[in-house]
């Protein structure tokens, strides 16, 4: 990504939720450039301890804290140039059963990060959102939708801090993803659980997710939501392709188990109603902030369909296998 180094070189970068899947990958990719310091902020000391040993880098600083605690967030953002806000509760069923906890982390936490960023004159704050925030039906999606609204209120321009969000779908193999479950089921010779034969999901790799964040870091003016176009597939096809690659046999048994609390059959990355404000650029949609109270609706955008996991390009089997290889789930 040309010119990207300049956005990072010599900068102090804070990663909230830095011990998670996103945090690990962004840290590895940042360390290929020249940040002055990367601060990893999260609650659990064990994850921090492991990450410290794993990276063994003098550029990493580990800070224990909770995004729900404004004073702590204010302290950790002092002299920081860039924040990647990734700390979140992200499991749909758990947020569904504990919606107030999702609210405290995903909404109040984001509010604290924004307030502290503004207070400490942080240059850029890029927050990670999800397809589940679009037309949300579950507490997780609702809390992430509120996170977007709250961070981008006033078009991210109430201060010197440029605030933008990125949205993406399922990251293959990230913590809590379906891959470890599929792996253990195939090893045990048990059927792969599928929620519904129709279910589709957007799929991307962690490096693709991080590149979207870096793209946003470089191109944000404040108030945008950056969305990476991603291929999608039916989960049935994904499960079959994976099992076939591991066992060498077609037709591995699947078991339809039904949707979990709050789960959608299909996901949406850009809603039809957002298309009026969306610019299409190469592999991206950039949903721009409101420019005035009324947004003109052109014929083109009025007819534009939502960007959904069932309406976009569905990956053929060879593309699913390529993704699985890239992410090292198959050889």
Burial class of 9 by CB neighbour count within 10 A (0 to 12, 13 to 18, 19+): exposed
Which residues within the stretch 198-227 sit at the binding site for ligand NAP (CB under 6 A)?
none
- According to the binding rule CB under 6 A, does residue 111 interact with ligand NAP? no
Query: Residue 132 catalytic?
Result: yes
The answer to whether the CB of 38 falls within 8 A of the CB of 58 is: no
Classified as helix, coil or strand, 67 is: coil
Exactly one of 7, 8, 12, 21 binds ligand NAP (CB under 6 A); which one?
21
Cβ neighbour number for residue 45 with a 10 Å cutoff: 11
Cβ neighbour number for residue 251 with a 10 Å cutoff: 9
Classified as helix, coil or strand, 162 is: strand
- According to the binding rule CB under 6 A, does residue 270 interact with ligand NAP? no
Exactly one of 49, 175, 322, 325 binds ligand NAP (CB under 6 A); which one?
175
CA–CA dist 178, 220 (Å, integer)? 32
Q: How far is the CB of 217 from ligand NAP (least distance, A)?
A: 15
- According to the binding rule CB under 6 A, does residue 308 interact with ligand NAP? no
**Which is the catalytic residue, given 132, 144, 185, 228?**
132
Q: Which two tokens stand for residue 215?
A: 């793209």
Binding mask 76-95 for ligand NAP (x = CB under 6 A): ----------xxx-x-----
- According to the binding rule CB under 6 A, does residue 66 interact with ligand NAP? yes
Which residues within the stretch 117-156 sit at the binding site for ligand NAP (CB under 6 A)?
128, 130
Q: How far is the CB of 221 from ligand NAP (least distance, A)?
A: 22
Please list, in sequence order, all residues whose beta carbon lies within 8 angstroms of the beta carbon of residue 154, skipping any fewer than 6 positions away. Answer: 223
Count Cα neighbours of 155 within 13 Å in the Cβ-side half-sphere. 11
Residues belonging to the active site: 132
Sites of contact with ligand NAP (CB under 6 A): 16-23, 42-44, 47, 66-68, 86-88, 90, 105, 109, 128, 130, 168, 170-171, 174-177
């Amino acid at each position: 990504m040309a010119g990207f180094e300049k956005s990072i070189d010599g900068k102090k970068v804070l990663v909230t939720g830095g011990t998670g899947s996103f945090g690990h990958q962004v840290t590895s990719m940042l360390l290929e450039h020249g940040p002055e310091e990367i601060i990893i902020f999260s609650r659990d000391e064990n994850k921090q301890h492991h990450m410290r040993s794993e990276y063994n880098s003098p550029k990493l600083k580990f800070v224990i804290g909770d995004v729900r605690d404004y004073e702590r967030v204010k302290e950790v953002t002092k002299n920081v140039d860039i924040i990647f806000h990734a700390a979140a509760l992200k499991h749909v069923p758990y947020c569904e059963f504990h919606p107030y906890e999702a609210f405290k982390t995903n909404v109040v936490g984001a509010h604290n990060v924004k307030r502290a960023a503004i207070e400490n004159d942080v240059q850029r704050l890029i927050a990670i959102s999800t397809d589940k925030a679009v037309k949300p039906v579950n507490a997780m999606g609702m809390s992430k939708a509120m996170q977007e609204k709250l961070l981008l209120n006033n078009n991210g321009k109430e201060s010197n801090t440029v605030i933008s969000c990125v949205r993406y779908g399922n990251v293959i193999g990230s913590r809590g993803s379906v891959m470890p479950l599929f792996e253990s089921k195939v090893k045990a010779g048990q059927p792969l659980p599928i929620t519904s034969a129709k279910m589709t999901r957007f799929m991307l790799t962690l490096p693709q997710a991080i590149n979207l964040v870096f793209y946003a870091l470089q191109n944000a003016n404040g108030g945008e939501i950056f969305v990476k176009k991603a291929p999608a597939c039916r989960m049935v096809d994904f499960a079959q392709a994976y099992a076939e690659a591991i066992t060498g046999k077609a037709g591995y048994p699947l078991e339809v188990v039904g949707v979990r609390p709050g789960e959608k059959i299909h996901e949406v990355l850009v809603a039809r109603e957002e298309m009026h404000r969306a610019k299409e650029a190469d592999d991206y949609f950039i949903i721009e902030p409101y420019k005035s109270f009324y947004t003109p609706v052109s014929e083109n955008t009025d007819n534009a369909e939502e960007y959904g996991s069932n309406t976009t390009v569905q990956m053929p089997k060879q593309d699913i296998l390529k993704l699985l290889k890239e992410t090292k789930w198959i050889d």
